[in-house]
């Protein structure tokens, strides 16, 4: 792999950019691999990357039904933060946020991590108490956050209306080193690094069955033929239930559409991410100038990748009240992604009833921020059979009653 650098840019500038090579290979599948990862989204690619980087396992295939990063990795609102209430969540999200800090250097690929700050607005007295509690919990967890008053919020976000009639801004939980990153670049950077380690990324190849012998996985059936493996990792977000069904076990998961939308590009007006959980809306401004807005999840199971229109109406109505200046903005695009929701709204990184099959799913509405940490933990679990970061996220927690209850701690935007 040719490294990207300022010298490479200068060199290519002199020869009409004819020397750039493809960022990753597109090989045909081999007969057999040590590890197969199903799903070439951020989490799947990160899992493969850390299997190679941290454990030297490089005989790996990453199989993808569509195209690389075309699922929720390319559909989210790119927010990165780690201000969670519960210790296991704070640990894995902070690990992820910390890895994001140096991810561009690690991958030699600019993921455009922008630690511009994230503010979660407190718009009811209940939220004020909730976020003050989270700020104290974060202090104990070593996650740098602070609770700030409404004047400080106004100072950081001048376009905000802090004394709205229904939901006045009473304060906010600020994480200065939270922010955004370029979501596609995260997938592309990991893919390039995986391919460079000799891993095979096989796109447009759908897994149609999981072959099992005596409680073990021996391989997968795909649209490009049968492939053997010693270990299988299922990392497919919204379609986790479909894959689990093929592997013959059940999951405490339901899938639904979550929506987002972007406006026409406008001049820079907001240089932080603002989340308003009471009214189910969050907004940031992309480098292109578009206002990126995230909304609510459908209340019923579906795989439509569209979502119900009235959720957009609710989100936009609430945001217009909070940011009056966006009322005349035209929206350019709206889309949906399928999120997999668990009973406690926390993810699952776990062994399964099949001895050599592992699953990473249930990230619900907030998986992007966790990609590096999730891949790190999943790789450790797959390589060593145990990961301190993943341990609490085992699927057994539902049977044992050890929930990681962030649905109360973080509201819906999560």
- Binding letters toward other proteins, positions 332-361, x by CB under 8 A: --------x--x------------------
What is the size of the binding site for other proteins (CB under 8 A)?
Answer: 22
For position 251 contacting other proteins by CB under 8 A, the verdict is yes
Nearest distance from residue 152's CB to other proteins, in Å? 37
For position 129 contacting other proteins by CB under 8 A, the verdict is no
The span from the CA of 395 to the CA of 342, in Å, is 10
The span from the CA of 217 to the CA of 231, in Å, is 7
The span from the CA of 93 to the CA of 97, in Å, is 6
Nearest distance from residue 335's CB to other proteins, in Å? 17
Q: Tell me, what DSSP letter sits at residue 272?
A: S
Which CB sits closer to other proteins, 70 or 164? 70
Which CB sits closer to other proteins, 103 or 243? 243
Q: Collect all residues with Cβ–Cβ distance below 8 Å to 57 and sequence separation of at least 6.
A: 34, 35, 51, 383
Q: Taking a C-beta distance cutoff of 8 angstroms, is the pair 354, 212 a contact? A: yes
Piece in contact with other proteins (CB under 8 A), picked from 72-80, 117-125, 218-226, 294-302: 294-302
Piece in contact with other proteins (CB under 8 A), picked from 64-72, 147-155, 296-304, 347-355: 296-304
Which CB sits closer to other proteins, 108 or 302? 302
For position 125 contacting other proteins by CB under 8 A, the verdict is no
The beta-strand segments (E) located in 153-309 are 171-175, 179-180, 200-202, 207-213, 216-222, 225-234, 253-265, 273-276, 281-285, 290-297
Number of other residues whose CB lies within 10 A of the CB of residue 206: 13
Piece in contact with other proteins (CB under 8 A), picked from 13-21, 142-150, 190-198, 251-259: 251-259
Which CB sits closer to other proteins, 304 or 327? 304
At residue 52's C-alpha, the angle toward residues 48 and 54, to 5°, is: 110
The span from the CA of 334 to the CA of 61, in Å, is 33
For position 7 contacting other proteins by CB under 8 A, the verdict is no
Per CB under 8 A, which of residues 373..412 are in contact with other proteins?
398-399
- Which one of residues 98, 146, 184, 254 is an interface residue with other proteins (CB under 8 A)? 254
For position 166 contacting other proteins by CB under 8 A, the verdict is no
- Which one of residues 1, 9, 242, 408 is an interface residue with other proteins (CB under 8 A)? 242
- 108 dihedral zone (left: phi>0; alpha: psi -120 to 50; beta): left
- Residue-wise over 96-111: b if at least 16 C-beta within 10 A, else e? bbebbeebbebbebeb
The span from the CA of 135 to the CA of 156, in Å, is 18
Which CB sits closer to other proteins, 251 or 276? 251
Nearest distance from residue 337's CB to other proteins, in Å? 15
Q: Taking a C-beta distance cutoff of 8 angstroms, is the pair 57, 225 a contact? A: no
For position 309 contacting other proteins by CB under 8 A, the verdict is yes
Nearest distance from residue 342's CB to other proteins, in Å? 8
Q: Taking a C-beta distance cutoff of 8 angstroms, is the pair 288, 265 a contact? A: yes
Helix, strand, or coil (residue 239) = helix
- Which one of residues 136, 303, 317, 332 is an interface residue with other proteins (CB under 8 A)? 303
Piece in contact with other proteins (CB under 8 A), picked from 82-90, 107-115, 246-254, 264-272: 246-254
Q: Which residues bind other proteins (CB under 8 A)?
A: 239, 241-242, 250-255, 299-304, 308-310, 340, 343, 398-399
């Amino acid at each position: 792999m040719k490294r990207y650098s300022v010298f490479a840019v200068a060199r290519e500038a002199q020869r009409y950019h004819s020397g750039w090579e493809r960022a990753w290979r597109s090989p045909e599948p081999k007969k057999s691999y040590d590890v197969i990862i199903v799903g070439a989204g951020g989490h799947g690619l990160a899992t493969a990357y850390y299997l190679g980087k941290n454990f030297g396992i490089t005989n790996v295939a990453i199989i993808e039904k569509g195209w690389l990063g075309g699922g929720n990795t390319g559909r989210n609102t790119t927010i990165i933060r780690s201000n969670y209430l519960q210790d296991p969540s704070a640990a894995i999200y902070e690990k992820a946020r910390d890895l994001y800090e140096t991810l561009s250097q690690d991958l030699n690929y600019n993921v455009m991590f922008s630690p511009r700050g994230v503010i979660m607005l407190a718009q009811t007295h209940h939220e004020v108490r909730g976020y003050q509690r989270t700020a104290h919990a974060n202090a104990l967890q070593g996650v740098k956050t602070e609770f700030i008053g409404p004047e400080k919020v106004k100072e950081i976000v001048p376009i905000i209306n802090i004394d709205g009639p229904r939901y006045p801004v009473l304060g906010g939980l600020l994480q200065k080193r939270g922010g955004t990153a370029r979501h596609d670049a995260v997938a592309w950077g990991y893919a390039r690094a995986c391919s460079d380690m000799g891993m095979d990324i096989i796109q447009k190849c759908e897994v149609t069955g999981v072959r099992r012998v005596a409680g073990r996985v021996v391989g997968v059936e795909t649209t490009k033929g049968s492939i053997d493996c010693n270990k299988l990792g299922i990392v497919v977000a919204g379609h986790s239930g479909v894959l689990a069904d093929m592997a013959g076990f059940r999951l405490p998961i339901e899938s639904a559409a979550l929506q987002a939308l972007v406006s026409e590009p406008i001049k820079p007006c907001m240089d932080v991410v603002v989340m308003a959980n009471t009214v189910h809306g969050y907004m940031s401004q992309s480098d292109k100038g578009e206002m990126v807005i995230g909304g609510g999840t459908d209340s019923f199971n579906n795989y439509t990748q569209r979502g119900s229109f009235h959720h957009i109406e609710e989100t936009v109505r609430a945001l217009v009240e909070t940011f009056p200046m966006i009322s005349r903005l035209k929206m350019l695009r709206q889309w949906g992604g399928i999120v997999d929701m668990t009973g406690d709204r926390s993810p699952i990184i776990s062994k399964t009833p099949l001895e050599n099959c592992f699953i990473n799913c249930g990230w619900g509405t907030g998986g992007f921020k966790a990609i590096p940490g999730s891949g790190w933990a999943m790789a450790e679990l797959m390589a060593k059979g145990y990961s301190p970061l993943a341990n609490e996220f085992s699927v057994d927690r539902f049977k044992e009653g050890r929930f990681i209850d962030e649905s109360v701690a973080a509201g819906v935007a999560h």
